[in-house]
């Protein structure tokens, strides 16, 4: 399989889907919102976007299965699988906050081999394939060269239903408020990770995430020279629900803080 060719086809596909999502944003009403669970929102836009993605991705790599947010009934393969989030940042979309994205990754057995994150509002497409660099709109990108947390801008997210780790999370939040250049919460984990990859953020951390939230962005961070772990410092960040993504240089520094504040809870 030519991963470069596959990835560039997905880049074009995400832009087509992005155009559909933006066309619906004009006429979208809060009456179109459904609740999958506590604060877990979905709309016909998410569902239709995923339907179109699944159809097109099945044509790009016919043998691949799917791990998709809105279509749990889709079959997974023992080898290749697409990991799809048709609209990462649904709550932002619903409230007309302009940070949301399409996120698509390709996994070969247990290894990510391609990732595309298209931030629709700024028309910024981040992508990478195994063996190649990471790109933003055809320009190679790298993680930030900042050497210390105090020089870093940090991104995080807030859980919308799993509050089991909120006490240590808020302690870490308080710590980082005082020891970094600031903390941002954009509302799309895929975009947060893409911004780490291109050096806008030095660090992103969050818990209670799903594979489709992080797969594409995490792979792009990796190809841009960054580092990823779970909160324990292991490599279960894709399916384990916890992720720390950094420019690699500050990773040891942030892990010491995480392990101190989350001691006994993870």
pLDDT tens-digit readout, 115-146: 999 999 999 999 999 999 999 999 999 999 99
What pLDDT band is residue 40 in, cutting at 50, 70 and 90?
A: low
- Exposure string for 66-101, b = 16+ CB within 10 A, e = fewer: bbbbbeeebeebeebbbbbbbbbbbebbbeeeebbb
CATH domain 149-261 topology? D-Maltodextrin-Binding Protein; domain 2 (3.40.190)
Q: How confident is the model at residue 25 (pLDDT cuts 50, 70, 90)?
A: confident
Question: Which residue, among 233, 244, 182, has the nearest Cα to 207 in the 3D structure?
Answer: 244
pLDDT of residue 188: 98
Domain boundaries, the chain: 3-141, 149-261
* pLDDT at 41 exceeding the cut of 70: no
- pLDDT tens for 192-203 read 999 999 999 999
CA-wise closest residue to 56 among 101, 22, 6, 109: 6
How far, in whole angstroms, is CA 63 from its chain's centroid?
24
Q: Which of the residue ranges 9-18, 24-33, 185-194 would you say has the lowest mean pLDDT? A: 24-33
Is residue 237 very low, low, confident or very high in pLDDT (cuts 50, 70, 90)? Answer: very high
Topology given in CATH for the domain delimited by 3-141: Fructose-1,6-Bisphosphatase; Chain A, domain 1 (3.30.540)
Is the pLDDT confidence value at 34 over 90? Answer: no
pLDDT above 70 (res 31) = no
CB atoms within 10 A of CB 182: 10
| pLDDT given at position 32 | 66
**pLDDT tens figures, 154-185:** 999 998 888 999 999 999 999 999 999 999 99
Contact between residue 104 and residue 6 where contact means Cβ atoms under 8 Å apart: no
End-to-end CA distance of the chain: 39
Dist. CA 65–CA 77, nearest whole Å: 5
Other beta carbons less than 10 A from residue 202's beta carbon: 30
Looking at every residue in the chain, the average pLDDT score rounds to 94
> Is a pLDDT exceeding 60 seen at residue 39?
no
Q: Is the dihedral of CA 144, 149, 155, 161 positive or negative?
A: positive
Instruction: Give every strand in the sheet of 227-229, ordered side by side.
Output: 183-184, 154-156, 203-207, 242-246, 227-229
The pLDDT of residue 35:
72
**Residue 74: beta bridge partners?**
none
How high is the pLDDT of residue 36? 64
- Under DSSP, the state recorded for 76 is P
């Amino acid at each position: 399989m030519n991963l470069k060719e596959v990835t560039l086809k997905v880049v074009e596909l995400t832009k087509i889907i992005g155009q559909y999502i933006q066309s619906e944003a004009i006429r979208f009403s809060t009456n179109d919102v459904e609740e999958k669970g506590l604060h877990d929102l979905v709309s016909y836009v998410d569902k239709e976007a995923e339907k179109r993605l699944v159809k097109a991705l099945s044509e790009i790599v016919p043998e691949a299965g799917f791990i998709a947010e809105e279509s749990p009934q889709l079959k997974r393969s023992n080898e290749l699988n697409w990991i799809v989030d048709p609209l990462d940042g649904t709550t932002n979309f619903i409230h007309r906050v302009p940070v949301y994205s399409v996120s698509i990754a390709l996994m070969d057995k247990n290894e990510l081999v391609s990732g595309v994150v298209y931030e629709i509002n700024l028309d910024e497409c981040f992508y990478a394939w195994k063996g190649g660099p990471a790109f933003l709109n055809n320009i190679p990108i790298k993680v930030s060269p900042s050497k210390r947390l105090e020089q870093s801008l940090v991104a995080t997210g807030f859980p919308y239903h799993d509050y089991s780790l909120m006490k240590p999370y808020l302690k870490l939040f308080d710590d980082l408020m005082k020891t970094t250049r600031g903390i941002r919460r954009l509302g799309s984990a895929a975009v947060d990770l893409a911004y780490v990859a291109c050096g806008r953020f030095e660090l992103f951390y969050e818990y209670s995430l799903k594979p489709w939230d992080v797969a594409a962005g995490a792979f792009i961070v990796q190809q841009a020279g960054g580092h990823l772990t779970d909160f324990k410092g292991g490599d279960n960040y894709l399916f384990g629900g916890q992720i720390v993504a950094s420019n690699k240089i500050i990773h040891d520094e942030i892990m010491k803080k995480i392990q101190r504040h989350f001691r006994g809870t993870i």
